[in-house]
Chains A and B, each alone.
Chain A
Amino acid sequence: MTGADLFEGFGGLEDDLLIRSRKKGRLEGQSQILWKYGGMAACLMILMGVAVTFRGGREPRWGQEAQESDATVKDGEHPLNALGETLENTNATGGREEKEAIFTEVEKELARPLNSEDLRTLLALDGANLEMATKAYTVSVGGHRADYVGIATSDKAKATLLEHAGEVVADSEEGYQLRKLMGHEDLQYLVSVREAENGEMVGLLKFEKFEEMDYSYREVLETIFHVHGAEDIVKVVVSPASMDNTDEGRTIQEEIGTRFIEDEAVISEIWQMLCGLRREGGKTWEDLGLFEEEGNPVNLREQVRRGRYLTLVTADGMEIDTLKYTGISGRFYEYGGIVYDGLDLEQTKCLEGLLGIDGSENVVGLKDNAGAGKQEGHGMSDIPVDEDNYREARSYDAELEELQEKISKAMMNHELPFVTTSGIRENPDRLHVTVNTRDEAELAKLKAYDMTGKWLEIEYNEGQAMWE
């Protein structure tokens, strides 16, 4: 027998050994050390640490009710919490076998791939890892340059992310390895890991956009989200747009409500439309037609009425939650200010019917099927009819930009730890700031930055922790 025969013999390794070897995490090593040196006390410490990490998650974007209340996930809702409680009780009364069984359950729970719900629980609720949150990377993938931004995760999330760091996708110049999430083929999230003297530096990155100015949304779906057909999408969740958080705006959002699309034929219809979307010439917010000729934004309540946020839920539990649609110009767009064209009038009417947007016949600025550039009539006097208006260049007020800079700096310096995001969004005349506190004294600190009192738009959202 030769070494080559032996090498060939390795070709018969069984599935579970191959799968396990691809995890590349420290789970196995950690558990052995725990048993060897730490015994049950160490197990409990780790378990409780993980349980704390998984506590306090929030409903996703579509859970408007959750966004409007202070409710956090209660203890025991995540399987690890329940196991943590059981182990605590078992420590008082149970035997070693019972504890071992529970620990095995915990290992299993940790070993399964993280899904979007798990990731939400890792977002910064306190002790945010802001250094990682400010990172941005460009990764070459599938012939594209993909931009990723750091997400503010809780410091407590480090161990979980480390355990779920999978295949290496790229190395950054700063020495970070950018890895897929273990057990996932998609590239929506990457875990950044770097060895440091006092342990590993770990962060979570989320895909933002391709660097190129022209690409199709289908390329994004296939390359980044690993969605290759309508059958890879199990659900589409349609939530109301939330750019108006006044009482009136919230009332409209409540009236619209959230709808869940699970019918395969309807999902297939939406899939076809998404495949036809194109980002052309790097259009951004300014091209969305959300403001009038005079520079005032289109009535925010109208934006809410005719806007929807889409979340695509994939078969492996991941959520693609960046797509938004506005019926005002009949376009899809994304958080990063990326605007997509490609829907014709017929598709727009069909889509708005599916999304529950009233008055789809009033859509403006859409070309017909023949692409003749014909403008359709509209029913609202405060909406521009001239498509050129949509492309009108608009520079943000210098004062507003200055305010944004100040608040960003304060966030970096940990002076506003309750501020999770800040940016100029749909309303170009406001700085949209997301906070995770309702404490008046804290909010006053934030408001003090806005000397005029007119620039800030504050949204309370405990779970939203992405730094844009």
Chain B
Amino acid sequence: MTDEKIIDSFWERREEAIRETEKKYGAYCLQVAQGILHDEEDASECLNDAWLKAWNSIPPARPEHLKCYLVRIVRNLAVSKYRTKFAKKRGQGEVALVLEELEECVAGQADVEALIDASQLQKTINVFVRALPAKDANLFVARYFYAESIREIAKHHFLAENNVRVRLSRMRAKLKKELEKEGYVI
């Protein structure tokens, strides 16, 4: 079924919308959730929550790219689940490494009580990624949105693993500067 027809089904409140969504994007979304959670059961739960969220949000939403819309929901639910699960201990899998890397960008800020404007932060990140050269932006998104491993990224982009590490490290340094400029990091 085409995306347009699936979205129409959501709008017409037909249950087949969920069935068709699962059929078409279930495997892909599961892969994204598992990439973050590294737990099949958690990932499946996350997917069920995602379908419910999609059902509740379409309408009024009419996503232009259904796949991106779903992946974003799944990813955010997975991240949220991950944070709850590992609130008081060190996490596991690739995400633990990703978080360690991102800590570099906000070094020394963990103790600072600051109210973060989430939507403003997202805007800053979008502007930052958009300003990167296309290839670097793709590496950055693969690592910090999808939590892909360095090895996977290197494979997918025909680069040496070390090259990927160096590029990401440079981009994190740039991001840190950007966050400082915007007042997120003091």
Interface residues of A (CB under 8 A from B): 1-15, 17-21, 23-24, 26, 28-29, 32, 167-168, 177, 185, 193, 195, 200, 222, 226, 228-229, 231-232, 315
On whether the beta carbons of A24 and B156 are closer than 8 Å, the reply is: yes
Report the nearest B residue to A6, measured CB to CB: B102
Most buried by A among B64, B114, B146, B157: B157
Once the chains bind, are B109 and A232 in contact (CB under 8 Å)? Answer: no
> Would A2 and B106 be within 8 Å (CB), given that A18-B68, A26-B158, A168-B155 are in contact?
yes
CB-contacts of B1-56 with A (<8 A): 1-2, 5, 20, 23-24, 28
Query: In B65-79, which residues have CB < 8 Å from any A CB?
Result: 65, 68-69, 71-72, 75-76, 79
Contacting residue for A2 out of B110, B129, B137, CB 8 A: B110
B118: contacting residue among A4, A9, A19, CB under 8 A: A9
Secondary structure at the B interface, as helix, strand, loop or mixed, is: helix
Residue numbers in B under 8 Å from A8 (CB-CB): 76, 79-80, 83, 118
Interface assignment of B58: CB less than 8 Å from any CB of chain A: no
Give Cα A29–Cα B118 distance, bound, in whole angstroms. Answer: 32
Q: Taking the complex as formed, is B62 at the interface, i.e. its CB lies under 8 A from any CB of chain A?
A: no
Whether B133 is near chain A, meaning CB under 8 Å from some CB there, is yes
Cβ contact of A6, chosen from B83, B105, B142, cutoff 8 A: B105
The interface residues of chain B lying within 8 Å CB-to-CB of A167 are 156
Give 6 closest A-B pairs by Cβ, nearest first.
Answer: A12-B122, A28-B134, A3-B102, A3-B103, A21-B141, A24-B156
Compute how far the CA of A11 lies from the CA of B102 in the bound complex, rounded to whole angstroms: 14
B23 neighbours in A (Cβ, 8 Å): 222, 228
Complex alpha-carbon distance, A14 and B126, angstroms = 7
List residues of chain B with CB within 8 A of the CB of A3: 99-106
Which residues of chain A are within 8 angstroms of B145 by Cβ–Cβ distance?
Answer: 10-11, 13, 18, 21
In the complex, 19 of the A-B residue pairs with CB atoms within 8 angstroms, ordered by the A residue number, are A1-B184, A4-B83, A4-B99, A6-B102, A6-B105, A6-B121, A6-B179, A9-B121, A10-B141, A10-B145, A11-B76, A14-B126, A15-B68, A21-B137, A21-B142, A222-B23, A228-B24, A231-B2, A315-B2
Could you tell me the distance between the alpha carbons of A4 and B87 in the complex, rounded to whole angstroms? Answer: 10
Shortest C-beta distance, A58 to chain B (Å), equals: 29
Q: Which residue of the partner chain A has the closest CB to B65?
A: A15
Given contacts A18-B68, A168-B156, A228-B20, contact A7 B144 (CB under 8 A): yes
Instruction: Looking at the assembled complex, report how far the CB atom of A328 sits from the nearest CB atom of chain B, in whole angstroms.
Output: 36
- Alpha-carbon distance between A10 and B158 when the two chains are bound, in angstroms: 24
Asked if B135 and A17 make an inter-chain contact with CB atoms under 8 angstroms apart, the answer reads no
How many interface residues does B have (CB within 8 Å)?
61
B5 touches A231 (CB 8 A): yes
Residue in A17, A19, A222, A232 whose beta carbon sits within 8 Å of that of B129 in the complex: A17
Question: For residue A168, which residues in chain B have a CB less than 8 angstroms away from its CB?
Answer: 152, 155-156
Set of chain B residues within 8 Å of A200, measured between Cβ atoms = 158
- Contacting residues, chain A, for B114 (C-beta < 8 A): 1
Residues of A contacting B71 in the complex (Cβ-Cβ under 8 angstroms): 18
Question: Chain A contacts of B138 at CB under 8 A?
Answer: 20-21, 23-24, 28
Closest to A162 in B: B158
Tell me the complex Cα distance, A292–B75, Å: 61
Q: If A2-B109, A168-B156 touch, does A10 touch B144 (CB 8 Å cutoff)?
A: yes
10 additional A-B residue pairs with CB within 8 Å, beyond A9-B121, A231-B1: A1-B109, A2-B109, A7-B98, A8-B83, A13-B129, A17-B130, A17-B137, A18-B65, A168-B152, A228-B23
Q: Within 8 Å CB of B119, what residues of A?
A: 12
A315 contacts across to B, CB distance below 8 A: 2
Please name the residue on chain A nearest to B16 by beta carbon: A229
**Residue B125 contacts which of A2, A13, A32 (CB distance < 8 angstroms)?**
A13
Query: Are B68 and A29 in contact (CB-based, < 8 A)?
Result: no
* Nearest chain B CB to A24 CB, angstrom units: 4
- Can you name the residue of chain A whose Cβ is closest to the Cβ of B125? A9
Most buried by B among A13, A177, A200: A13
Is B116's CB within 8 Å of the partner chain A?
yes
Indicate if the CB atoms of B112 and A1 lie closer than 8 Å: yes
Q: How far is the CA of A26 from the CA of B100 in the complex (A)?
A: 29
A232: B residues at CB distance < 8 A: 1-2
Q: Which residues of the partner chain A approach B104 to less than 8 Å between Cβ atoms?
A: 3
Determine if B126 and A2 form an interchain contact, defined as CB atoms under 8 angstroms apart: no
User: Which residues on B sit within 8 Å (CB–CB) of A13?
Assistant: 72, 122, 125-126, 129, 141, 145
Report A-chain residues with C-beta under 8 Å of the C-beta of B95. Answer: 7
Which residues of chain B are within 8 angstroms of A20 by Cβ–Cβ distance?
A: 134, 137-138, 141
Chain B residues contacting A2 (CB-CB under 8 Å) are 103, 106, 109-110
Instruction: Give A222's nearest chain B residue, CB to CB.
Output: B23
Q: Could you tell me the distance between the alpha carbons of A61 and B86 in the complex, rounded to whole angstroms?
A: 57
B106 near A1 (CB under 8 angstroms)?
Answer: yes
A177–B158 Cα gap in the complex (Å)?
11
